[in-house]
Chains A and B, each alone.
Chain A
Amino acid sequence: MERPRRDFMQISTALTLAFAAGILKPVEVFGKEWEGTLLDAKTVKEAVTTLGGDLIVNSSGVILSGPEVVASGYVVPLSMSCNIAGTDLMALMIQKNPTPMSAVFRIPPDTNAAVSTRIKMGETSTIYGIVRANGNFYVGSTIIKVLAGGGGCG
């Protein structure tokens, strides 16, 4: 189910040319891996299953860092990083949000497996970081307490 990195690069080059020529819109193509099942996953297990995995390893190599407590859930800084070699996919799930799957990053070989962003949280929740490295799946988590939810956070 997963494409080898080499194919990813060939596909990426072909796509880049197509986008530049205005033939393809990114969402039409990247949407194929993002769409439907992965984004609908409600649990870590479901997400990994849709990516073709079955074994999930809890790993301290997957690091999620953010504030312990936030007054408002609208803008919560969060960083996700992984020191496991061969990481090519990182996904962020906010357990208590109506749509838990919050972000998915595909990491090419020369990019560090570390991303920082800001998320919306409806309430105090566990945040899971799912990593795919060399076809294996790892997960790490953290808990962020929210005193006043970012209403309509999705």
Chain B
Amino acid sequence: MSDPMRIRANLVNSSIEVKLMIKHPMESGFRKGEDGQRIPAHFIETLVVRCKDHIVLDAYLGLAISENPYIAFHFTGAAKGDDIAVTWVDNLGASRTDRAVVT
């Protein structure tokens, strides 16, 4: 069970500013734990952000993105009240979608 991500989508000067704070360990698989064993790789591979079912960002993130990924970007063509959906899929096949509304 993954934790929910924080999604901020604010209309700023006619474009939507999106800030995502996703909860995920983003283990590269190279780190060793205290017992000297490698901690298995566990990281988000793909991220898709949609506004009203229209893709506004589509990304491969990978193991060099820091733990609890932060992603920020801007897009145009939406208005306050529009639905934002963010979906990620990780290397173990787990996925999560969270939603927010443009404010």
Are B70 and A116 in touch, CB under 8 angstroms?
yes
User: Across the interface, do A103 and B55 meet the contact criterion of CB distance under 8 Å?
Assistant: no
Contact A99 B62 (CB under 8 A): yes
Least Cβ–Cβ distance between A58 and chain B, in angstroms:
23
| A120 to B69 Cα, complex, angstroms | 11
Closest residue to A33 on the B side, CB-wise? B60
A73-94: CB near B (< 8 Å → 1, else 0) gives: 0111100000000000000001
Which secondary structure characterizes the binding site on chain B?
A: strand
How many residues from B make CB contacts under 8 Å with A? 41
Q: Interface 1/0s, chain B 52-89, versus A by CB < 8 A?
A: 01111111111111110111111111000000000101
Q: Is the CB of B63 within 8 A of A99?
A: yes
Q: Are A104 and B89 in contact (CB under 8 A)?
A: no
Q: How many residue-residue contacts, CB under 8 A, span A and B?
A: 138
> B50 near A31 (CB under 8 angstroms)?
no
Q: How far is the CA of A111 from the CA of B63 in the complex (A)?
A: 25
| Chain A residues whose C-beta falls within 8 Å of the C-beta of B58 in the assembled complex | 12, 30, 105-106, 108
Interface presence of A16 (CB below 8 A): yes
Q: Are the C-beta atoms of B89 and A152 separated by less than 8 Å? A: no
- With A120-B28, A153-B30 in contact, is A111–B62 under 8 Å at CB? no
Whether A118 contacts B57 by the Cβ 8 Å rule is no
> Is the pair B57, A153 in contact by a Cβ cutoff of 8 Å?
no
- Across the interface, do B28 and A153 meet the contact criterion of CB distance under 8 Å? yes
- Chain A interface SS verdict (over half): mixed
Q: Tell me, in angstroms, the Cα distance from A120 to B27 when the chains sit together.
A: 11
Contact between B56 and A111, CB atoms less than 8 A apart: yes
- Is the Cβ of B57 less than 8 Å from the Cβ of A152? no
Contacts of B50 in A (CB 8 A): 16
Q: Does A18 contact B (CB under 8 A)?
A: no
Given A26-B46, A27-B46, A111-B74, A99-B64 contact (CB < 8 Å): yes
- B interface with A by C-beta (< 8 Å): 15, 26-32, 39, 45-46, 48, 50, 53-67, 69-77, 87, 89, 93, 95
Known contacts A104-B59, A111-B74, A118-B70; 19 additional CB pairs below 8 A are A16-B55, A26-B48, A30-B48, A39-B60, A75-B67, A99-B64, A105-B57, A108-B58, A111-B73, A112-B15, A116-B70, A118-B66, A121-B64, A151-B31, A152-B29, A153-B64, A154-B28, A154-B29, A154-B62
Interface residues of A (CB under 8 A from B): 12-13, 16, 19-20, 25-27, 30-31, 34, 39, 74-77, 94, 97-99, 101-108, 110-112, 114-121, 150-154
